[in-house]
Amino acid sequence: MKKIIPLWLIFLFAALNICNAQNATLQNFTIDAKATTETKALFYNLKNVSGKGVLLGQQDALMYGIGWKGEFDRSDVKSVTGSHPALFGWDLESIAKGDGSETQSAEKLESYCLQAYKMGGINTLSWHVQNFVTGKNYYDTTKCVSAILPGGEKHKEFTAALDKVAAFIKSLKSDKGVAVPVIFRPFHENTGNWFWWGKPFCTAQEYKSLWQFTVQYLRDKKGLHNILYAFSPDRISGNFDNYMERYPGDDYVDVLGFDNYYELKDINDEKSVELAVKSIGQICNYASSKNKIAALTETGQEKIVQPNWFTTVFNKIMSDTAASKISYIMVWRNAHTGHFYAPYPSHPSEPDFKNFYNDARTLFLNDIGKEIYKVK
């Protein structure tokens, strides 16, 4: 049986720092002055889990897995451990691309987000954005950023796509009408060269302007106050200047994340793993200094060819004083037997993943006890 410090107890002690005996008012540390109570609580609880435990997430976990699709309350993570992940990643590509399928896609994705919320889980939304200049997908690196900024020839098309994103996020409401908090992670891996918003295809200022406009549009123009905004470049190889080069500013970011597959793909490559851990530590230190959340927003080893990958990587992170302050880690999806990042029943990595689950420092859905949106 998993031995853990109950998360509700962590949250209870944390809450004592912000509540007084007469009025339990939740202080707002998000970038949104009008953030909903649940969104503020999510931020505060993610911040306070830092150093006490790490939440595990997976992309598309409830949608499908190895050998199944669309079965209610199922995930490969749950099939192995008995618990879903604590955090669920989804993507907005099909909702915003405007090819006529977005309504059906939105309804389907909405059902999964609400299912995750009702169970007490966290939803994080990425966006593989179509190229507005060519109409092709996100891998078309024709320069686009300057064209969609205010005054650009494709700005209207961009805001139309943002309207669809906003409508979807606004639709996420509980049975009681509560706006479901989400972590929104747009324009990710911007230090790479594979997306049109990547470093070779726009200036640092253009990228910052794009990010700032997006936040202002959703928060101020569309009136959405249930969003935490996550900044997530690709690996920075221990050079924090690479991370900050396109950072849009503390007033526009809640979660300091980054994606790193490459340096963690082989646990026997000690130099690369050390660089990854160093990067995590740098990001955690900055997050702590600015009262932000730190996260490894995408990672994993495709097909988990090294069966002890999870415990090895986790122990290396947790043995580092700075890196161990990370709040959550998300692995990518389980699409098929040639492309998966979490174990499934009978896979050779299953025993190691159970050890990972049983570690007192890892937090899955069963561990957070529906308390993530509350402060006791």
Residue 298 annotated among the catalytic residues of the structure: yes
Q: What is the dihedral of CA 242, 201, 333, 95, to 10 degrees?
A: 130
Distance between CA atoms of 212 and 158, rounded to whole angstroms? Answer: 14
Q: What is the dihedral of CA 144, 145, 149, 151, to 10 degrees?
A: -50
C-beta contacts of 32-37 below 8 A and 24+ residues apart = 32/219, 32/225, 32/227, 34/225, 35/225, 35/226, 36/178, 36/179, 36/181, 36/225, 36/226
Q: Which of 165, 79, 70 is nearest to 115 (CA)?
A: 70
261 annotated to bind ligand: yes
Write the DSSP string, 318-344: HTSTTGGG--EEEE----BTTB-SS--
Q: Tell whether the torsion through CA atoms of 276, 181, 59 and 357 is positive or negative.
A: positive
CB 327 within 8 A of CB 45: no
The rounded radius of gyration (Å) of the Cα atoms in the chain is: 20
Helices (H) and strands (E) in the chain, counts: 13, 11
Greatest pairwise CA separation for the chain in angstroms: 59
CB 359 within 8 A of CB 54: no
Token pair, residue 217, equals 């549009």
84 annotated to bind ligand: no
Candidates 38, 263, 298, 371; catalytic one: 298
Candidates 189, 206, 263, 371; catalytic one: 189
Residue 302 annotated among the catalytic residues of the structure: no
Q: End-to-end alpha-carbon separation of the chain, Å?
A: 26
Q: Tokens 């002890």 label which residue?
A: 308
Distance between CA atoms of 109 and 171, rounded to whole angstroms? Answer: 11
CB-CB neighbours of 366 under 10 Å: 18
Token pair, residue 182, equals 């989400």
194 annotated to bind ligand: yes
Q: Which residues are annotated as a binding site?
A: 128, 194, 261
Residues annotated as catalytic are 189, 298
User: Which residues participate in the annotated binding site for substrate?
Assistant: 128, 194, 261
